[in-house]
Chains A and B, each alone.
Chain A
Amino acid sequence: MTPTTTWYLVLAAVLFGIGAVGLMVRRNPLVMFMCIELMLNAVNLSFVAFARAFSDINGQTAVFFVMVVAAAEVVVGLGIIVSILRRRPGANVDDLAELRG
């Protein structure tokens, strides 16, 4: 009994769900970023599974670009978090309503 594409896709769906729950439940901005990484990894996993199922290398290229964009996104997001938390130590995301009109 060898793993099929369906198994990988189910695993990716479960991982995406766990990441989504974490994003909605946690209040620490850093942990919320980690949950976004979980969701991105779930999508990467399904991309590679589809690339293998359809014998198409374009899926792996897409994963490559997702990784690059994720790295850039993490850098910018952590920069924003650093500059916010430096001004207000210990802030969680509920405190960050300064742009509210």
Chain B
Amino acid sequence: MELLVFVLATAMVIAGAIGVIAYRNPVHAALGLVLTLFGVAVHFVAMEAHFLAAVQVIVYAGAIVVLFLFVIMLLGVDRAEDLDVEPFKVQRPLAVIIGVAVSGLVIAAVVRGRSTLGSLQEVTAEGDDNIRSLARNLYSDHVLAFELTSVLLIVAVVGTVVLTRRSRRSEVAE
């Protein structure tokens, strides 16, 4: 059963990821991204990270992809990109070589060191459920980082509003 879930979710992740880099239309690429994010959420559930799976679906698949789609629709850049045009001849094979090399190195390191990892265990000790232990960790050990996160979000929101706002003076100049 666990094997079946792993295989299905892995197929979703890989198919979506290849869709992101292969589809010409950015809208289709965004839908491939949704497939990948749902697959990763399924893996999170399989590894008993239930809270992170919920956040993955709500924040990533819900908010971030919708933001991508909004920008695509807003700018009207949903025209298909011509993937056959290639300004640098060596770029695409070089990129594939580098990507395979990076993956291969990491896989080799993981396979060599697999004896130290052992098998999967429960994260949550003494029958504590996932959300409770995550919250205890977040609000005790990492509470400063958590508070700084709110500052980061405020700065990001204000910065984006300032960036994308058209001021009246520049409209007159245009």
Contact = CB atoms under 8 A, between A and B. Distances in A.
A68 B81 contact: no
| Residue of A12, A30, A53 ringed by the most chain B CB atoms within 10 A | A30
Interface string B33-66: 1001100100110111101100110011001100
Contacts of A14: 14, 103, 107
Given A38-B20, A61-B137, A78 B71 contact: yes
Contact of B17 (A15, A27, A75): A15
Interface in A35-51: 35, 37-38, 41, 44-45, 48-49, 51
B163 A83 contact: yes
Contacts of A56: 123
B98 A34 contact: no
B120 interface: yes
Contact of B125 (A24, A55, A78, A89): A55
Nearest to B121: A55
Contact of A38 (B33, B47, B92, B134): B33
Describe B's contact surface by its main secondary structure.
Answer: helix
B120 A3 contact: yes
A78 B76 CA distance: 14
Interface residues of A, number: 74
Nearest to A56: B123
Interface size class of chain B, counting residues whose CB lies under 8 Å from the partner chain: 35 or more
A87 to B, nearest CB: 9
Contacts of A2: 2-3, 120
A14 B29 CA distance: 18
A11 B123 contact: no
Interface of B: 2-3, 6, 10, 13-14, 17-18, 20-21, 26, 29-30, 33, 36-37, 40, 43-44, 46-49, 51-52, 55-56, 59-60, 63-64, 67-68, 71-72, 74-77, 79, 81, 87, 91-92, 94-96, 98-100, 102-103, 106-107, 110-111, 114, 117-125, 130, 133-134, 137-138, 141-142, 145, 149, 152-153, 155-157, 159-160, 163-164
